[in-house]
Amino acid sequence: MFPLARTMANVELEVQKQKVTADFLLEAPDDEAVTTCLGLAKKQGAKSRDLLQQAKRLIHDGLASVQSEQNLIALARFSPMVDELAHQDMRLAALTVRACARDATAGEMEAAKAQADDIMRLSDQIAVEITSFVEGSSRNARENQELAARANTGMIGSATLVGLMLAWVVSRGLTRPILRLQAGARAVSAGLLAEAHVPVTTRDEIGDVTHAFNTMLVDLQEKEKIKDTFGQYVDPRIVADLLNGGQTSSGGKKQVATIFFSDIVGFSGIAERLAPGTLVHLMNAYFSAMSDPIQRNSGIVDKYIGDAIMAFWVPPFADIERQAELACRAALEQTENLAAFHKQIPDIIGLRRDVPLIDFRLGIVTGEVVVGSVGSKIARSFTAMGDCVNQASRLEAVNKIYGTRVLIDHATRSAAGDVIEAREVDLIVVPGSSAPLRIYELAALKGGLAAARQELFSCYEEGLHWYRAARWDQAAVAFSAALNIDPQDKPSRVMFERTTNAQAAQPANWDGVWVMTAKL
């Protein structure tokens, strides 16, 4: 359209030139000037015709290449307009040639000028049409551009949305198995093995990891099953340490341990009165009630020997600084549990009359022992061995002499410190030993001793002091005072009788040590 507009502008310029030539002819002074104008008019007419032919070719080319039907209709309107312009231009050329022949009247010359004006108007109309067409085409192009831009924006937005959704689906597919693995790992960490299984949903590396995780979970469940099963026969901590390759699977070594030994008072008579099944049922309940305090206080139940319980406290299962205190706490808790257990016995054995009374004696000793896994190729046990174990067993039996329930040695008393309330009972030599053993009665935790009991302990301590100093009169008075506070206090009665006998016998080389000659 731009070449067409330029061509039509040149046509208009040539027509304007022809009009000027016509004006000049009216004033031509001579024949020579007329001849010059005639040549000029012919040249201008030819140039105008060539330009109009060029315009027709441009319109024809445009019609051949245009794509839009709207533009095709608009462009087709230019063809008859250009044809009309060519026809009018030929008339103008003829009028101009006649004027050059000097035979045209003034009216004809004016007609030529008017013809030139008509051509100019027609050319202007074509120019306006071209401008309108170009503006419309530009507007349509701009609208198409905006529509294309909006379409592109919509397509980009849709593609982005689809891409985000696809990315979310893909990432979700990748992260969901990982999140399930994470949840399974947390369940394992929390000990919820039954809830930790993760389904295998892919066949890639994540699926392989999930399968390996489930295999590990099966192994852990087997270990837990072993721990639960053997935990009924061996302390669960020992089972766990054994499975993890800890010290329970290694050879023995010397360690300072606190040994605990207890026995039921008069068990033989109780066993004779009950049927075997009832007796087993009763002992199971008793062992459960008495073992719980040991485990709560970090102790290890070594074994059940008939009606006896052997336990010990040793690192790493118990803090070495607190193991004596923990053993004393367990013994005192057992004493507290005993009253509640008595109330359960009728329901346990199914009797309401002639119900056996269960009581126990207990000895606690702290010292160096050998701790390790001991046994044969077919059976092994994680246990403690040494003189302290024997002393704890003997100390449990010594309770029979003094009428006490819990006796501890001096090492246990010193290690427990101010946490417990205890009174020194005697300095003895047990059968099978030559070293004196200072023994104490464990009474309560710190602050748990009644005022009357504290006064009794003070009197007993004073009597023991005079007894060892062979001051029999003062010792007898102190022990008598203790009996006045509690006539049922058997340690005071025993020491009072010994003081009376020693006062009568007046033993030589007295050191205050009571030597036991017979096994209890």
pLDDT digits (tens, 9 = 90+) for 264-276: 999 998 998 889 9
pLDDT tens-digit readout, 41-66: 777 777 777 877 887 787 777 777 77
Show the domain range for 267. Answer: 249-449
pTM above 0.75, yes or no: no
Residue 425 pLDDT class (50, 70, 90 cuts): very high
Q: Among the three residues 415, 449, 483, which one is the final residue of a domain in this structure? A: 449
Residue 172 lies in a domain: no
In this structure, the answer to whether residues 323 and 340 fall within a common structural domain is: yes
**Helix 106-189 vs helix 69-76: crossing angle, to nearest 10:** 170
Residue 440: is its pLDDT beyond 70?
A: yes
Instruction: Specify whether 91 is located in the same domain as 144.
Output: yes
Residues 324 and 404 placed together within one structural domain of the fold: yes
303 is written with which tokens?
């074994």
pLDDT for the residue 307: 92
Under 8 Å CB-to-CB from 313, ≥6 apart: which residues? Answer: 257, 258, 260, 297, 298, 299, 300, 323, 324, 326, 327
Based on the fold, state whether residues 292 and 202 are members of the same structural domain: no
pLDDT level of residue 366 (50, 70, 90 thresholds): very high
Per-residue pLDDT at 314 exceeds 90:
yes
Contact yes or no for 185/153 (Cβ under 8 A): no
Mean pLDDT of 87-102: 69
| CA-closest candidate to residue 44, choices 19, 18, 23 | 18
3 state DSSP class of 29: coil
User: pLDDT digit string (tens) for 115-137?
Assistant: 777 777 777 777 777 777 777 77
Task: Please give the pLDDT value at position 469.
Answer: 94
The answer on 426 and 295 residing in a single domain is yes
Whether residues 81 and 136 share a domain: the answer is yes
Q: Which of 449, 479, 495 is the last residue of a domain?
A: 449
Is 164 inside a domain boundary?
no
For the chain, how many structural domains are there in total? 4
pLDDT given for residue 252 in this prediction: 73
Higher per-residue pLDDT: 112 or 415? 415
Mean pLDDT for 414-422 is 95
Mean pLDDT, all residues of the chain = 83
Amino acid at 268: S
Lowest mean pLDDT among 210-214, 381-385, 388-392: 210-214
Q: Are 6 and 149 found together in one domain?
A: yes
Determine, yes or no, domain membership for 181.
Answer: no
**Which residue, 97, 127, 155, sits at the end of a domain?**
155
Q: What proportion of the chain, given as a percentage, has pLDDT over 70?
A: 86
In a domain, residue 235? The reply is: no
Please report the sign of the dihedral spanned by the C-alpha atoms of residue 475, residue 477, residue 483, residue 485.
negative
CA quadruple 429, 433, 436, 437: dihedral sign: negative
| Segment 393-401 mean pLDDT | 94
Rounded mean pLDDT of 318-333?
95
Q: Are 59 and 82 in contact (CB under 8 A)?
A: yes
Residue 180 lies in a domain: no
20 CB-near residues (< 8 Å, 6+ apart) = none
The kind and range of the H/E element at 8 are helix 2-26
Whether residue 470 is predicted with pLDDT greater than 60 in this model: the reply is yes
Which CATH number does the domain housing residue 307 bear? 3.30.70.1230
Locate 446 and state its tokens.
Answer: 């710190």
243 within some domain: no
Whether 10 and 118 map to the same domain: the answer is: yes
Q: Distance between alpha carbon 316 and the CA centroid of its chain, in Å?
A: 30
Q: Are residues 22 and 99 in the same domain?
A: yes
Give whichever of 35-39, 115-119, 352-356 has the largest mean pLDDT.
352-356
Residue 8 forms part of a structural domain: yes
pLDDT score recorded for residue 31 = 62
**In angstroms, how far is CA 290 from the centroid of its own chain?**
39
Q: Is there a single domain that holds both residue 216 and residue 116?
A: no
Do 279 and 417 lie in one domain? The reply is yes
Residue 234 belongs to a domain: no
Domain CATH code at residue 85: 1.20.120.230
Say if residue 142 is in the same domain as residue 16.
Answer: yes
For residue 18, CA distances in Å to 12, 56, 81, 390 come to 10, 21, 20, 147
- Calculate what percentage of the chain has a pLDDT beyond 90: 40
